């Protein structure tokens, strides 16, 4: 089956209110055609972004969510809060959340389950540090991240998951994994889903690549057999770059 390409822009901790409005007005020009396009502004910009893009095919998603549904958790954002402003998808397990905020497999599994149980789709991130790859542990590490984070979900629930593979050593560094490294890991991830859920699920689940995707390499990366689009960081903050990457996904 042909999987629809997906390009998601993760704005991270960038963009003031006014800056986000300016970029969103430019993003309205994007021709999505046969590509799903999503952007993940900061929490403070979500409500306005949803409003500004209400007539657009671009979906506004969240960068994170808390693992509990409600309660005395000062500073956290719940699934219910996201849904109340029209956000129905969230990124979970980004390498920066794992590294800087010590989010482990247990926490990420609970976040994923909370989101899915509340009918919110997820982009679940996995990836290895350079040291793990150099030791030859990268496949084992990715396998553990996926099994611990996602494999408690049932066959119907897993259909609401997109996986994003991000070699941590290629995020924001200007380095990009070699094409054969990208393809072999995406193929490996797809095989994990085949072993757990069967071929129908593994053929339809989308696996994105994240790691210094730019206009000059996007088309080549997106043409790889098991790459279904990209999770874009820095390049998503620039309209021209992000638009070029979306066009590359359109083929």
CB-based contact 170:177 (threshold 8 Å): yes
Reference 233, options 11, 2, 3; nearest CA is 11
Give the tokens for residue 122: 């997820």
DSSP string over 48-101:
HHHHHTTTSSPEE-BS---SSSSSS-TT---HHHHHHTT--EEEE--HHHHHHS
The one catalytic residue among 59, 96, 103, 166: 166
For residues 108 and 65, the answer to whether their CB atoms sit within 8 Å is: no
| Cβ-based burial of 229 (10 A; exposed 0-12, middle 13-18, buried ≥19) | buried
Give residue 83's Cα distance to chain centre. 18
What kind and span of H or E run contains 22? helix 17-27
**Contact status, residue 39 vs residue 9, Cβ threshold 8 Å:** yes
Q: Is 129 a catalytic residue?
A: no
Task: Assess whether 186 carries a catalytic annotation.
Answer: no
Catalytic residue among 94, 96, 103, 128: 94
Q: Which of 116, 37, 126 is nearest to 69 (CA)?
A: 116
In the chain, how many H helices and how many E strands? Answer: 11, 8
Q: Which residues are catalytic?
A: 94, 166
């Amino acid at each position: 089956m042909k999987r629809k390409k997906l390009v998601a822009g993760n704005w991270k901790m960038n963009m003031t209110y006014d800056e986000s409005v300016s970029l969103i007005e430019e993003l309205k020009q994007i021709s999505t055609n046969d590509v799903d396009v999503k952007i993940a502004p900061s929490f403070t910009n979500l409500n306005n972004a949803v409003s500004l893009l209400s007539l657009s095919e671009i979906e506004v998603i969240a960068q994170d969510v808390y693992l509990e549904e409600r309660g005395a958790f000062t500073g956290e954002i719940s699934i219910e809060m996201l849904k109340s402003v029209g956000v129905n998808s969230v990124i979970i397990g980004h390498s920066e959340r794992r590294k800087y905020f010590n989010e482990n497999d247990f926490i990420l599994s609970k976040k994923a389950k909370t989101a899915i149980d509340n009918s919110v789709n997820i982009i679940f991130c996995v990836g290895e540090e350079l040291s793990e790859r150099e030791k030859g542990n990268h496949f084992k590490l990715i396998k553990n991240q996926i099994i611990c984070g996602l494999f408690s979900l049932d066959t119907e629930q897993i259909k609401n998951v997109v996986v994003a593979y991000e070699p941590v050593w290629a995020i924001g560094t200007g380095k990009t994994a070699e094409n054969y490294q990208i393809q072999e890991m995406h193929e490996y991830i797809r095989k994990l889903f085949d072993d757990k859920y069967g071929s129908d699920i593994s053929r339809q689940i989308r696996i994105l690549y994240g790691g210094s995707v730019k206009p000059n390499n996007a088309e080549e990366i997106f043409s790889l057999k098991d790459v279904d689009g990209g999770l874009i960081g820095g390049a998503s903050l620039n309209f021209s770059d992000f638009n070029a990457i979306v066009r590359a996904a359109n083929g």
